[in-house]
Amino acid sequence: MKQTIGCYHAHYSNIDYIQQAMEPFDVELVHFVDPGLDRRKSDAAFPVETAQARIQDTLVWVESAHVDAILVTCTFFTAHMPDSDALPVSIPVVRIDDPLFEAICAEGRPPLLVFTNPATVDGTVRRLIQYAEGRGMELPVRTHLLEGTFDILMRGDKETYLSKVTEGLMNLAAEHPDHQLWAAQLSMAGAAGRAEEAAGVRIGDPLSELSRYMEKGLQLKPRPRTS
């Protein structure tokens, strides 16, 4: 039976990435986007508790739309969600950085996580360290913020954003050959692919690991062939 996955995004630009990643599987995707929360999260008068309450309320709303599982594609959202055993929903919830964390822990070289959104850095790193510790690992995590790039995406100029992020990733790959680079946000996946091809080095990203992780975790079936 076809499964229905509710996809909870901070920005509309993430929809295409998820559509592509889930194309091989017999699933229906229902998209829920909250750009207002993404814009307000850095406001001084917008407490983190309000953001957390909004995220939890939306998870409950998505579950009520008759979906079988939820995929949360924003790292800010995942960083401010409760632990899995405290989530306010009864269906499986996949966080976009779970496949990324699994791949980082399996990699031999020390990780360098690259971000464009400053509001996601601390929460993502905290979750990664907790994830690694749960597997008996201690990771020497380094981070780098490509400053000013996320504002470009928020203005809707996706192509300039991809160009700037691609350039930044290529420069970092050259400067840190002893580290494994990871584009830590879904919005960076396209740039990671471009930089990887141009620089000739692997640059990990959440999307490249997502399909395998979702197929295994949700036992997804292949999309039927059409004659």
pLDDT of residue 119: 84
**Contact, 166 vs 191, CB < 8 A?**
yes
* Token duo for residue 79: 């960083």
Query: What is the CATH T-level fold of the domain 3-95+210-218, as seen in this structure?
Result: Rossmann fold (3.40.50)
pLDDT along the chain (227 residues), means of 10: 93 90 94 88 82 94 97 90 88 92 91 93 91 91 95 91 97 95 93 93 89 89 79
Cβ atoms within 10 Å of 115's Cβ, excluding its own: 23
The burial class, CB within 10 Å (0-12 / 13-18 / 19+), for 91 is middle
Reported pTM:
0.83
| Spans of all domains in the chain | 3-95+210-218, 98-206
- pLDDT value, residue 201: 92
The pLDDT assigned to 5 comes to 97
Per-residue confidence (pLDDT) for residue 46, from 0 to 100: 82
pLDDT score recorded for residue 175: 96
- Element of type H or E holding 71: strand 69-72
CA distances from 27 to 32, 58, 70, 110, 226 (A): 16, 21, 12, 36, 15
Torsion, Cα 11 12 14 17, to 10 degrees, reads: 180
Domain 98-206 coded CATH 4.10.95.10: no
Beta strand ranges found along the chain (DSSP E): 3-9, 27-33, 69-72, 93-95, 111-115, 142-145, 180-183, 203-204
pLDDT at 227: 57
